[in-house]
Amino acid sequence: MAQVDTLWIVPGGVSLGGDTLAALRFCSTEEFQPSNETIHGDWTSTVFVNLDSAAHSLMIDVEDWGPVTVLAGDTVAVAPGELGEATHRVWSASQRGKTLGLATLWRSGYDDHVHFEWNLNEWDPAATWTAASGEIVSEDDPYVPRQFTINDRNYPNTLLDSSSYVQTSVGVPVYISIVNQGRMDQVLHFHGYHVKVLQSSAHENRVGWTKDTVPVKQGECVVVELNPNQPGEYPVHAHNLVAVTNAGFYPGGMITYLNVAQ
Partner 1 sequence: MNSMSDLISRWTLALGLLTFLGFQTQAQMAPPQLFSEMDGLHFLEDGSAVPFWGYGWVADGFISLPGPLLEYAEGQEVNLAFTNPSPESHTIHLHGLDVDQANDGVPSTSFYVSTGESTDYEFTATHTGTYLYHCHVTTTLHLTMGMYGMILVTRPDGTLFEGGPAVTQNVPWLFSDLEVATNLDPVGSFPFHDMRPDVFMVNGKAGSQLAEEVVYASAEEPTALRLGSMAYSKITCHFPEGLNAELWMSDGREVPVEVLDSLEIYPGERFTVLVQPEVGYDGGVTAAFEHMVDGYEEAEEFLQIREESLHPSHVASLDEPTWYPNPASHNIQVTESTGRFVRVWTSVGELVFEGQVPASGLDVVSWNNGLYLAQVEGRDVTRFVVAHGIR
Nearer to partner 1, 41 or 235 (CB): 235
Tell me how far, at minimum, the Cβ of 206 lies from partner 1, in Å: 8
Our measurement of the distance from residue 70's CA atom to the centroid of its chain's CA atoms, rounded to an integer in Å, reads: 21
**Interface contacts to partner 1, rule CB under 8 A:** 142-146, 184-185, 187, 189, 191-194, 205-206, 208-213, 215, 230-235, 239-242, 244-245, 247-251
Q: How far is CA 154 from the centre of its chain?
A: 12
8 A C-beta contact, residue 220 and residue 183: no
At residue 50, the 3 state secondary structure works out as strand
Query: Least CB distance from residue 84 to partner 1, whole Å?
Result: 23
The enclosing H or E element of 121 equals strand 114-123
Of the pair 10, 21, the CB lying nearest partner 1 is at: 21
Cross-strand bridge partners of residue 200: 222
Of 42, 45, 88, 66, nearest in space to 201 by CA:
88
Question: CB-wise, 82 or 140, nearer to partner 1?
Answer: 140
Q: How far apart are alpha carbons 96 and 105 in whole angstroms?
A: 19
Helix (H) or strand (E) holding 223: strand 221-226
Give me the least distance between CB of 233 and partner 1, in Å please. Answer: 5
Residue with smaller CB distance to partner 1, 32 or 193: 193
* Smallest distance, partner 1 to C-beta of residue 40, A: 29
* One-letter amino acid for residue 160 of the chain: L
Q: How far is the CB of 179 from partner 1 (least distance, A)?
A: 17
What is the CA angle 85-215-131, rounded to 5?
90
Least distance to partner 1, CB of residue 200, Å: 12
8 A C-beta contact, residue 255 and residue 235: yes
- The length of the chain, given as a count of residues: 262
Closer of 101 and 215 to partner 1 (Cβ): 215
Closer to partner 1 by Cβ: residue 109 or 189: 189
